Amino acid sequence: MTATVAPPSVPATRQPRYLLDREGVLGPLMLLPAVLYIVALVGFPLVLAILYSLSDVTVGDQSIDLIGFGNFTAVWDNGTFQKALRNTFLFTFASQALVLVLANLLALILSADFHGKRLVRFLILLPWTTPIALAAIGWLWMLDSVYSPIDAALRSAGLLGPDTPFGPLRNMLWLSKPDLARLSVLLIHTWRTLPLATVILLAGLTAIPQDVKDAANVDGAGFWRQLIYIRIPLLLPIMTVAVLYGVIFTFTDMTVVYVLTRGGPIDNTQVLASWAFLKGVEGGDLAQGAAIALFLFPVMAGVAALMLRTARRTETS
């Protein structure tokens, strides 16, 4: 039954040269640099930000003296903050609603074959791949109060100028009129996040298994029927993920507003992120800046949780 008993060799706990072979040791060791970085440069600052928001830190007085929730109430009572809060939600959800519709259309278009498809695909991506600040600069010029080409086009179409629907001025003043300025920011956010949503949706579309489509064809379902009863329900999880990303990138963005209008005219395009920046960096009130930025957190956390759940469900389906 059993072999002859032989003297056992030295147990491994006393063999340090094999230490790095133990998964229990190697695993955490390999994770260490990344985790350290994250803890030091994300975790720690996060805690610090919360501390700041509960204190009276300014650029001048760097000591952290806790004062409770005073900053939050002060911030909340501020009119500009309320504007910023409203704008943040407006820009985010209006733009993403638009993106949802447009991305679906565009993804459908791109899932078909046609001449020049590669070129279109490349062009479609440009708004997303260009660094945000540079794209914003491009739009700054595009929406210039004197030289905007959009104005020029409207003028030639007879829609702008004296005695016209958009007149009487010869320019729309996109960035100087509050409503138009908000519309511009909204437009740019939509323009910028559309590519990402589209590409994610497109990938989801092509991932619909062929046999599902085949079965639908055999069952006699035409184009629209397939769309409504098959494709869209199957795409719902992916759509959710795409929209959630758009929400995150729009909700927390300060670059577009900062470069385009600095939050103007008169704080009418201010968003939480840009307001926090202006207060914190340019105003020097670190505590209030942190408090304002922290208002971003609940929505972000909610979005992240939603995204996790949807992604998990996509994977298991």
Partner 1 sequence: MATSVPPAPAPKTPPVTAPRYTGLETSPGVARAKRVGARGILYAGATFFALFAALPFAWMVLTIFKQDTDLYNAKHNPFVYNDPPTLDNVRALFNETEYVTFVVNTLIVAVAVVAITLVAVVPAAYSLTRLAGRWGEGLGIGIFLVYLVPPTLLFIPLSRVVTELGLRNSKWAMVVVYPSFTIPFCTWLLMGFFKSIPWDIEEQAMIDGYSRLGAIWRTVLPIAIPGLLTVVVFAFALTMHEFVYALAFTSSSAEKTISNGVPTELVRGDVFYWQSLMAAAAIVAVPVALLYNVFLDRFIAGFTLGAVKG
Partner 2 sequence: MATVETRGLTKHFGDGNAAVNGIDLASTDGEFLVLLGPSGCGKTTLLRMIGGLEPPTSGDVLIGGQVVTDLPPRARQIAMVFQSYALYPHMSVYNNIAFPLKAQKLPKTEQKQKVAWAAGILGIDQLLHRKPRQLSGGQRQRVALARALVREPNVFLLDEPLSNLDAQRRASARDELQLFQRRVGTTTIYVTHDQVEAMGMGDRIAVIDQGSIRQLGTPHEIYDDPADTFVATFLGSPPMNLVPRGGDLLGFRPEHFIPADVAATEAMATFPFHVHREEYLGAERLIYGEVGDAKAVARFPANVVVPAAPGGTYDFAVRRGDLKIFNPTTGLRTDRPV
The stretch near partner 1 (CB under 8 A) out of 92-100, 157-165, 178-186, 215-223 is: 215-223
Q: With respect to partner 1, which residue has the nearer C-beta, 181 or 259?
A: 259
| Stretch 7-26 residues interacting with partner 2 (CB under 8 A) | 8-9, 11-13, 15, 18, 21, 23
DSSP-derived secondary structure letter, 158: T
Contacted entry of partner 2, partner 1, none for residue 15, CB cut-off 5 to 8 Å set by kind: partner 2
In this structure, are residues 247 and 92 in contact, taking their beta carbons and an 8 Å threshold? yes
Q: Which residues contact 312 (CB under 8 A, 6 or more apart)?
A: none
In this structure, are residues 270 and 88 in contact, taking their beta carbons and an 8 Å threshold? no
Q: With respect to partner 1, which residue has the nearer C-beta, 90 or 109?
A: 109
| Stretch 160-189 residues interacting with partner 1 (CB under 8 A) | none
In this structure, are residues 151 and 170 in contact, taking their beta carbons and an 8 Å threshold? yes
Cα–Cα distance between 230 and 98 in angstroms, integer? Answer: 22
The stretch near partner 1 (CB under 8 A) out of 1-9, 75-83, 175-183, 304-312 is: 304-312
Instruction: Pick the binder of partner 1 from 78, 213, 230, 283 (CB under 8 A).
Output: 213
Cβ-based neighbour number of residue 154 at 10 Å? 20
Closest approach, Cβ 29 to partner 2, in A, equals 16
Q: Which residue pairs, CB below 8 angstroms and at least 24 apart, start in 79-84?
A: 80/267, 80/270, 80/275, 81/275, 81/292, 83/267, 83/268, 83/270, 84/263, 84/267, 84/270, 84/271, 84/272, 84/274, 84/275, 84/292
Contacted entry of partner 1, partner 2, none for residue 8, CB cut-off 5 to 8 Å set by kind: partner 2
Closest approach, Cβ 7 to partner 1, in A, equals 26
The stretch near partner 1 (CB under 8 A) out of 5-13, 68-76, 91-99, 135-143 is: 135-143
Interacting residue ranges for partner 2, rule: CB under 8 A: 1-4, 6, 8-9, 11-13, 15, 18, 21, 23
